[in-house]
Chain A
Amino acid sequence: MAWVEVPGQEKVLKPLLNTVIILGLIKCANFSPQAPAYHLILEGILILWIVRLLFSKTYKLQERSDLTEKEKEDLIEEWQPEPLVPPVSKDHPSMNYDIVSGPPSHNIVVNGKQCINFASFNFLGLLDNERVKQKALASLKKYGVGTCGPRGFYGTFDVHLELEDRLAKFMRTEEAIIYSYGFATIASAIPAYSKRGDIVFVDEAACFSIQKGLQASRSFIKYFKHNDMEDLERLLKEQEIEDQKNPRKARVTRRFVVVEGLYINTADVCPLPALVKLKYKYKVRIFLEESMSFGVLGEHGRGVTEHFGVNIDDIDLISANMENAVASIGGFCCGRSFVIDHQRLSGQGYCFSASLPPMLAAAAIEALNIMEEDPDIFSVLREKCEQVHKALQGTPGMKVLGESYAPALHLQLESSSGSRETDVRMLRRIVDYCLEKQIALTLARYLDKEERFLPPPSIRVVVTVEQTKEDIDRAASCIREAALSILK
């Protein structure tokens, strides 16, 4: 009965046809030549019925579930999108920025109040350095402000080449590459190398731009406990076992460890020598973010490699911004040419963005000059850091987070009230109290929902070489007073 299986009709027709056929069979069985006329008529009708069924327009069951144009229009009418952004209350803690009038240097005017700056990452006090300003001005007079193009299309200035050369020499690496935005530096560098399928081991305390770089890379991300080399080794071992199961895949899976030199979120330093050992043991590459430690740690300010006396060639890539110690804008990566040069075509923030305004590059060059001419500046900074670290000890109800030589410390509440919001509000009151007393501090700001591991709320205390002993003592006593009166 193959003819019954007409595609598309079977679902509806089958039962009907079956009935008809069974009727027909009964008829056949009872067939007799002397069949009465009504039999023939009935059979004729039945045959016609079958023919009609066969040739009538088919309709599919699923067609019934399709929406009509009208229904579609209704759906479109009905759809209510969420608002583009949820409303933000006017008294959100990050809604109203403090306003700085005038230069954000050692003496700073915050919300109309003359203060001493303990908040800007101007570690070496180069922000209002006369020499730096003069160089920037000279550059402005020659090149104007903007570059009007990316590096590839007439956006490369001789100043950029000079700065790259100087940075490479300063860091004693083969090559350096500059970006026009500090945040974009490591965030572009990571996805230039680490691709889908690769594995990145990251410290939990890694800063936000590293997190964004990792996200853009679409690699597997494995977080290890902050500065815990055992935990890292555990993960590396796990991976090694995994690799043995599938050696073909392992041969093309790149492995990276991404760490910060001096962590911006915890103000402590990464155990680099131990990391280098692990690097060779497990054949992973190290990417080191040095925004906080470049121009700070080490005898010549070369950062955490110099601090630990690690051979800089053992680190595959170092990135740092020029917005803290160097007090300009932008960032750079340095390392061996084999690694760095790849970014010139693959670093998104490098290729697709306008280049750094030449005057900012010129300012950075002059800052490097100053750093090279006067390496004492780093030991002065270190001294100040130790002073501040010591002075802040014993602040009632608060604890200092960070190494004694870290220039950006965190003051956290000793015991949380249980609610982040209340904690933040309390810390904000301390900051406001200090602002009143002419000490400019700031809360460390985070995007609470976006951070992978949200650090506890804290007040940032930034040390610069310009702060005198008196400034530091005043700030410390001011914070103490505030803590006493507000935290009780």
Chain B
Amino acid sequence: MTESSANKPANGEVCHRPKNGIKPGRNGFVKNHHHYHHQQPKHCYPEDKAQHTSYNGGLGLYNRPFNESFEETPLLVAVLTYMGYGILTIFGYLRDFLRDWKIERCHIAREREEQRDFVPLYQDFENFYTRNLYMRIRDSWNRPICSVPGAKVDLVERVSHDYNWTFDYTGRVVGGVINMGSYNYLGFAENTGYCAEAAAEVTMKYGVGVASTRQEMGNLDRHEEMEALVAKFLGVESAIAFGMGFATNSMNIPALSGKGCLILSDELNHASLVLGARLSGSTIRVFKHNNMQSLEKMLRDAIVHGQPRTHRPWKKILILVEGIYSMEGSIVRLPEVIALKKRFGAYLYLDEAHSIGALGPAGRGVVDYFGLDPRDVDVMMGTFTKSFGAAGGYIGGRRELIDYLRVHSHSAVYATSMSPPVVEQIITSMKCIMGEDGTTLGRERVKRLAENTVYFRRKMTEMGFIIYGNSDSPVVPMMLYLPAKIGAFGREMLKRNIGVVVVGFPATPIIESRARFCISAAHTKDMLDTALCVISEVGDLLQVKYSRHRRLPSLDRAFDHSIYDEIQD
């Protein structure tokens, strides 16, 4: 895998580029890509965040259309957004002033008297944002629920009498809210049915804890069984599982990479990947989001120039990418990443937190979606939290890799192993997706999710919202831009019994506040129609139908129920 010469013939066109970096025009997408590269800068409003499409020409690396759109921010909206933040900041300073002079009541928890002369625990500006911006719309987050996080969810009603500084629970329940927020892609968040029953049985047999680490006395037979199943599901030689998805990244990347190694990381990678890379002590360079030219340039420069100052060659290069980016809804350009990593002899770490189960004809993630060979990805990482309705994370790959991790993973040595009922949930839900339970229920869920996604995205685009991301991604970010609309959208939707996630700075760039919908296989067509209807209504109310392309960019194909059949082999 590391010998680039051996792979050259297999890599197709990507390897044989003319020296000036401009690729032959026959591959339509590549041209577009070049184009895209110039138009991507995030804060250049007059420029267009172009439509970005690849065609299935038979010559390219893609076996299916790859539609990813990031419509530009309208200039007026951009200006208004900055003004919005400006006004909020001015009022923030004003109110801080009033609080300082005790004119306005201050709700902030204070340092103990005894410790007043200590160095302040927080810097003042650190909490300015929290105090003056976040607090205004704090009710949009952390909404407590009191039911299964399924297609419909019951919320605990809470009110605030002091502008969100504290919440009171009324004791009432807001029932039957359509849940567009949970990562319940395949609808396995269930309290009845085969998975829940099996988990219940294991709870009674094993209890919920383990009270030891994998290497000491916490390696249960169920863990081994689950890992074998995960490996089979992924199509890799071996797999190892951990109790927390976040920690799977942050505690295993340091085992794979170290000083003298280079990590190339996508700019929008999840915090856990960033933390893992940082803890590894490797040099980290960040390439533009999903931008293959940026990645290629970095790979080329890294190998040609070696390490900074010493100019020694890098020991190894690890590329960190995610399958689906949870805030953008974009899908990694995996065929190109694989071609690049083969060409340059780098290793690929693929985080499938959102894509495993949610993409591909068999629900096996982004590798399956593109019809690639899982052996081309060196480290297949993913989580059980989302599609499987459980908790934890896994790493799959070649036997040597997993053996090494079994010995050297921080998690295997120091962290308590996974809870048995959670393991059982993973085993049963995974078997269901694989059809090993003797039914086609799992397959139907995967198909249903793909259908729901395409349907929902198409309708949203038709209604004139700016929707980011790939047309097949079940994560659907909808742009709100203005800070005031973050809170308003969340509240108006909840009033109409739809639970959505809204996100603003710092999770997104300051101007690109958005709402995010997560499509689930558990959503029925009725639910989606209800939700769409409400979204449209609130969209009109808040005037967030920003899109100026009142057309159907490449999504304009009749919905095809056999969407996946075309690439089945």
**Contact (Cβ within 8 A) B218 A100:** yes
**Contact (Cβ within 8 A) A329 B501:** no
B122 on interface, CB distance cutoff 8 Å: yes
Residues 71-98 of A, flagged 1 when their CB comes within 8 A of B and 0 if not, give: 0100111011111111110001011011
Which of B148, B200, B214 touches A137 (beta carbons < 8 Å)?
Answer: B200
**Contact (Cβ within 8 A) A329 B243:** yes
Closest to A175 in B: B109
Q: Determine, out of A50-58, A121-129, A381-389, the stretch whose residues face the partner at the interface.
A: A121-129
CB contact under 8 A between A148 and B147, given known A67-B304, A254-B119, A352-B271: no
Rounded to whole Å, the gap between the CB of A357 and the closest CB of chain B is 5
B90 on interface, CB distance cutoff 8 Å: no
**Contact (Cβ within 8 A) B345 A144:** no
Which of B153, B196, B416 touches A329 (beta carbons < 8 Å)?
Answer: B416
**Contact (Cβ within 8 A) A136 B208:** yes
Q: Determine, out of A152-160, A219-227, A470-478, the stretch whose residues face the partner at the interface.
A: A152-160
A323 on interface, CB distance cutoff 8 Å: yes
CB contact under 8 A between A151 and B389, given known A120-B212, A140-B191, A447-B410: no
Which of A97, A132, A144, A149 touches B215 (beta carbons < 8 Å)?
Answer: A97
**Contact (Cβ within 8 A) A323 B183:** no
Closest to B188 in A: A146
The residues in A between 173 and 205 inclusive whose CB is less than 8 angstroms from any CB of B are 180-184, 193
**Contact (Cβ within 8 A) B425 A85:** no
Rounded to whole Å, the gap between the CB of B503 and the closest CB of chain A is 9
Give bound CA distance, A108 to B217, whole Å: 10
Which of A101, A144, A146 touches B384 (beta carbons < 8 Å)?
Answer: A146
Instruction: Please give, as numbers and ranges, the residues of chain A lying within 8 Å of B145 by CB-CB distance.
Output: 154, 156-158
Instruction: Please give, as numbers and ranges, the residues of chain B lying within 8 Å of A212 by CB-CB distance.
Output: 251, 279, 410
Closest to B414 in A: A208
Which of B143, B212, B224, B407 touches A121 (beta carbons < 8 Å)?
Answer: B212
**Contact (Cβ within 8 A) B119 A148:** no
**Contact (Cβ within 8 A) B121 A148:** no
The residues in A between 315 and 372 inclusive whose CB is less than 8 angstroms from any CB of B are 321, 323-324, 326-329, 336-339, 341-342, 344-345, 348-349, 351-354, 356-357, 359-360, 363
Rounded to whole Å, the gap between the CB of B489 and the closest CB of chain A is 14
Instruction: Please give, as numbers and ranges, the residues of chain A lying within 8 Å of B205 by CB-CB distance.
Output: 102-103
A133 on interface, CB distance cutoff 8 Å: yes
B442 on interface, CB distance cutoff 8 Å: no
**Contact (Cβ within 8 A) B206 A103:** yes
Instruction: Please give, as numbers and ranges, the residues of chain B lying within 8 Å of A167 by CB-CB distance.
Output: none
A141 on interface, CB distance cutoff 8 Å: yes
Instruction: Please give, as numbers and ranges, the residues of chain A lying within 8 Å of B123 by CB-CB distance.
Output: 252
Which of A136, A145, A160 touches B425 (beta carbons < 8 Å)?
Answer: A145
Residues 365-384 of B, flagged 1 when their CB comes within 8 A of A and 0 if not, give: 00000000000001100011
**Contact (Cβ within 8 A) B121 A339:** yes
Instruction: Please give, as numbers and ranges, the residues of chain B lying within 8 Å of A140 by CB-CB distance.
Output: 191, 196, 199-200, 203, 421
In the complex, which of the residues B188, B407, B414 has the most CB atoms of chain A within 10 Å of its own CB atom?
B414
Give bound CA distance, A338 to B113, whole Å: 12
Give bound CA distance, A387 to B153, whole Å: 52
Rounded to whole Å, the gap between the CB of B106 and the closest CB of chain A is 13
The residues in B between 327 and 356 inclusive whose CB is less than 8 angstroms from any CB of A are 343-347
Which of A97, A122, A126, A152 touches B219 (beta carbons < 8 Å)?
Answer: A97
A35 on interface, CB distance cutoff 8 Å: no
Instruction: Please give, as numbers and ranges, the residues of chain B lying within 8 Å of A248 by CB-CB distance.
Output: none
B307 on interface, CB distance cutoff 8 Å: no
Q: Determine, out of A16-24, A25-33, A391-399, A438-446, the stretch whose residues face the partner at the interface.
A: A438-446
Give bound CA distance, A323 to B213, whole Å: 10
Which of B247, B300, B401, B419 touches A357 (beta carbons < 8 Å)?
Answer: B419
**Contact (Cβ within 8 A) A338 B316:** no
Closest to B387 in A: A148
Residues 169-203 of B, flagged 1 when their CB comes within 8 A of A and 0 if not, give: 00000000001011110001111000110011001
**Contact (Cβ within 8 A) A100 B378:** no
A119 on interface, CB distance cutoff 8 Å: yes
Which of A252, A253, A323, A442 touches B416 (beta carbons < 8 Å)?
Answer: A323
B406 on interface, CB distance cutoff 8 Å: yes
B164 on interface, CB distance cutoff 8 Å: no
Residues 393-413 of B, flagged 1 when their CB comes within 8 A of A and 0 if not, give: 000000011011111101101
**Contact (Cβ within 8 A) A327 B414:** no
A63 on interface, CB distance cutoff 8 Å: no
CB contact under 8 A between A146 and B391, given known A97-B215, A101-B221: yes
Closest to A75 in B: B304
Rounded to whole Å, the gap between the CB of A78 and the closest CB of chain B is 9
The residues in B between 115 and 137 inclusive whose CB is less than 8 angstroms from any CB of A are 115, 117-123, 130, 134
Instruction: Please give, as numbers and ranges, the residues of chain B lying within 8 Å of A336 by CB-CB distance.
Output: 109, 112
**Contact (Cβ within 8 A) A145 B422:** yes
A416 on interface, CB distance cutoff 8 Å: no
**Contact (Cβ within 8 A) A84 B206:** no
**Contact (Cβ within 8 A) A95 B275:** no
Give the 10 A-B residue pairs with the shortest CB-CB distance, closest first. Answer: A181-B244, A119-B217, A85-B404, A327-B209, A97-B219, A354-B385, A353-B246, A148-B182, A183-B415, A338-B109
- Pick 20 A–B contacts, CB within 8 A, sort by A: A88-B407, A94-B215, A95-B407, A100-B220, A121-B211, A126-B209, A140-B191, A142-B148, A145-B389, A146-B425, A148-B149, A181-B415, A193-B121, A212-B251, A285-B115, A326-B209, A328-B208, A345-B134, A352-B270, A445-B414
Q: Which residues does A use to contact B, with CB under 8 Å?
A: 67, 69, 72, 75-77, 79-88, 92, 94-95, 97-105, 108, 110, 117, 119-122, 126-129, 132-133, 136-137, 140-149, 151-158, 160-161, 180-184, 193, 207-209, 212, 215-216, 250-255, 280, 283, 285, 313, 321, 323-324, 326-329, 336-339, 341-342, 344-345, 348-349, 351-354, 356-357, 359-360, 363, 440, 442-447, 450, 460
Given contacts A145-B390, A148-B183, A216-B279, 17 further A-B pairs with CB under 8 A are A79-B303, A84-B379, A104-B217, A120-B212, A127-B207, A136-B421, A145-B425, A157-B145, A181-B247, A183-B247, A323-B416, A344-B142, A349-B246, A354-B245, A356-B391, A360-B422, A447-B408
Q: Which residues does B use to contact A, with CB under 8 Å?
A: 2, 4-5, 19, 109-112, 114-115, 117-123, 130, 134, 141-150, 153, 156, 179, 181-184, 188-191, 195-196, 199-200, 203-221, 224, 243-247, 251, 254-256, 270-272, 275, 278-279, 300, 303-304, 313-318, 343-347, 378-379, 383-386, 388-391, 400-401, 403-408, 410-411, 413-416, 418-422, 425, 499, 501
